[in-house]
Structure 1
Amino acid sequence: MSIDFQIIDQTIAHIVVNRPDRHNALDVEHDRALASAFQRFNEDSQLKVAILSGSGGRAFCTGADIGDYLPYRREIAACDAQTTTVSFGGLTGAHDVAKPTIAAIDGFCVAGGLELALACDIRIATFDSRFALPETRLGILPGGGGTQRLAKIAGLGVAMRMILTGETFDANYALDHGLVTELVSKEELERSALAIARRIVANGPLAVLAARRAILASSELALADGLLLESTLQRELLLTHDSHEGVAAFLGRRPPVYTGS
């Protein structure tokens, strides 16, 4: 199996799609293996952040391995209820992962690969990376959340341009339109992703989860409802041990020792 799972600092999961001979595309077997890796991350309370990357330096992930995966999806389409959604790699469903995720992108990030990246909370990429949702060229649409997340992240116009044309765009386009937050060299990619992950881990774990929940809800809720959720979460946090510890550490000019309580 070519989905690697490495634990760093006892708190960070580095999940790597390791199929460089297939440009890190996922067939059914590897789709399920990636889903299992994210389930492992989600269920391990010691793990606070996951980094997703691809091996080989040519591709982050090029999506589904067409010859194997599309027949599988056709079988589902033929017999499933119309309201059923299918999560790609255990990450593109609405509530697949409850903790922060970082996509470290190098090379081609296309089709389901871009949908995996869009499902992550933070995306960084190398200058050589390329981005596309070319499914309409195959007579289908991006079915792993691409039509939904791209419009929310980059805007309706960018989503229309990328999805309806199926064209490939460079890293500068991705940066300019918010698909990624920063560009780094190939040599700096893993180090940069780890630095972000470690910075997240150093913060209050309850606060990180609550803030992530509020941010994700912001695109779904009316402003008044979003502000109410924010206030509710803040009240809950103010009553925790961690919030007292965070303030005491700040005033005492020492690192905080959070317990998640």
Structure 2
Amino acid sequence: MAIRVESDPADPRVAVLTIDRPDARNALDPEHQEALGAAVAAFEASDEQLVAVLTGAGETTFSAGADLKRLIPAYRDRVRAGEDVPWNFGGFTAVERAKPLIAAVNGHALAGGLEMALACDIRLCSPNATFGLAETKWAIIPGAGGTVRLPRAVPLGLAMEMILSGEPIDAAEAYRTGLVNRVVPLPELLDVAVGLARGIADRGPLAVREARARVLDGLGLEHAEAMAREHEAFLRVMRTDDALEGPAAFAEKRAPRYRGR
């Protein structure tokens, strides 16, 4: 199965998940959809891996999303037969993640490909990247978080234009509107993404997960409730052993040794 799961040789706390189906623009057919979902779930369950990077094989396409020849027809036929079928595309729509995931977008991220990138916490891309939700061109709608996550990532008007027209934007526009954090030369993209993952893995793992959760949770809450939940999380993290280790390491001018407790 062409979903490659590799540990960073320099830091086993970092996993690299690669959709390796370049002959099909890294689109997910039923088998690859299942395999990627299993890879994401295994990363989330791992005690050793703390941060992952998601990318696609080759130099032109991150992922073209769902395979229109196999995955979409198979799903559509079951829906039209009256089934209420779950749609956990690539393992990103039905699984609540706690660990950070970085997208290294090495080319076109279209339809479900963009939705997978949107499900990541941080997005880096190469200059040849494009981003689009093309579903309306095929008389369907984004169903893996596109209508939810894109308006939270870019201005509403741009999200509406991308979703309703199905037309993509380029890397420069994605950077200008905040869809991606950085545009990195293609030969350096994966190394930069892995380097960022290593830096996050060096931080207190409980603090990273709690901070991530509070950011995402707070987006849907009133200000006062979000602040209250942040304070509760602040107290929880303050009670951990890692919160003792961090300042101690700083005072002793050494690298901290976090244990996730």
TM class, shorter-length: over 0.9
State the Cα distance separating 1:157 from its structure 2 match. Answer: 1.0
| 1:182 and 2:182 correspond | yes
State the Cα distance separating 1:76 from its structure 2 match. Answer: 4.0
State the Cα distance separating 1:85 from its structure 2 match. Answer: 4.9
Alpha carbons 1:54, 1:61 under 8 Å: kept: yes
- What letter corresponds to residue 41 of structure 1 in structure 2? F
State the Cα distance separating 1:77 from its structure 2 match. Answer: 2.2
Aligned-pair RMSD on alpha carbons? 1.1
SS in 2 for 1:198: helix
Residue aligning to 2:170: 170
Residue aligning to 1:232: 232
- What letter corresponds to residue 63 of structure 1 in structure 2? G
CA distance in 2, matches of 1:91, 1:208: 20
What TM-score do you get using the length of structure 1 for normalisation? 0.96
Residue aligning to 1:131: 131
CA distance in 2, matches of 1:189, 1:34: 21
Residue aligning to 1:246: 246
SS in 2 for 1:102: strand
State the Cα distance separating 1:168 from its structure 2 match. Answer: 1.7
| 1:64 and 2:48 correspond | no
CA distance in 1, matches of 2:154, 2:86: 23
State the Cα distance separating 1:165 from its structure 2 match. Answer: 0.9
Alpha carbons 1:153, 1:179 under 8 Å: kept: yes
Residue aligning to 2:202: 202
User: Within 5 Å, which residues of 2 pair with 1:88-99?
Assistant: 88-93=89-94, 95-99=95-99
| 1:4 and 2:7 correspond | no
SS in 2 for 1:11: strand
> What is the percentage of aligned positions where both structures have the same residue?
41
Per-residue Cα deviation, 1:14-73 (whole angstroms, up to 9, x for no partner): 000000100100001100000010011011111100100000111000001101011222
CA distance in 2, matches of 1:59, 1:255: 38
User: Within 5 Å, which residues of 2 pair with 1:37-186?
Assistant: 37-78=39-80, 79-81=82-84, 85-93=86-94, 95-186=95-186
Alpha carbons 1:237, 1:243 under 8 Å: kept: yes
Q: Using a 3 Å threshold, how does the CA distance of structure 1 residues 7 and 233 change in structure 2: closer, same or farther?
A: same
SS in 2 for 1:221: coil
Q: Which runs of 5 or more residues in structure 2 are unaligned?
A: none
SS in 2 for 1:6: strand
- What letter corresponds to residue 92 of structure 1 in structure 2? T
Alpha carbons 1:115, 1:146 under 8 Å: kept: yes
What TM-score do you get using the length of structure 2 for normalisation? 0.96
CA distance in 2, matches of 1:85, 1:171: 32
CA distance in 1, matches of 2:72, 2:26: 16
CA distance in 2, matches of 1:40, 1:218: 27
SS in 1 for 2:7: strand
SS in 1 for 2:66: coil
CA distance in 2, matches of 1:251, 1:257: 13
Per-residue Cα deviation, 1:204-233 (whole angstroms, up to 9, x for no partner): 000000000001112111111111110001
User: Within 5 Å, which residues of 2 pair with 1:16-31?
Assistant: 16-31=18-33
CA distance in 2, matches of 1:50, 1:186: 19
Moved over 3 A (4+): none
Q: Which runs of 5 or more residues in structure 1 are unaligned?
A: none
State the Cα distance separating 1:5 from its structure 2 match. Answer: 0.5
Q: Using a 3 Å threshold, how does the CA distance of structure 1 residues 108 and 238 change in structure 2: closer, same or farther?
A: same
How many correspondences in the alignment? 258
CA distance in 2, matches of 1:73, 1:4: 25
Alpha carbons 1:90, 1:96 under 8 Å: kept: no
SS in 2 for 1:7: strand
- What letter corresponds to residue 88 of structure 2 in structure 1? S
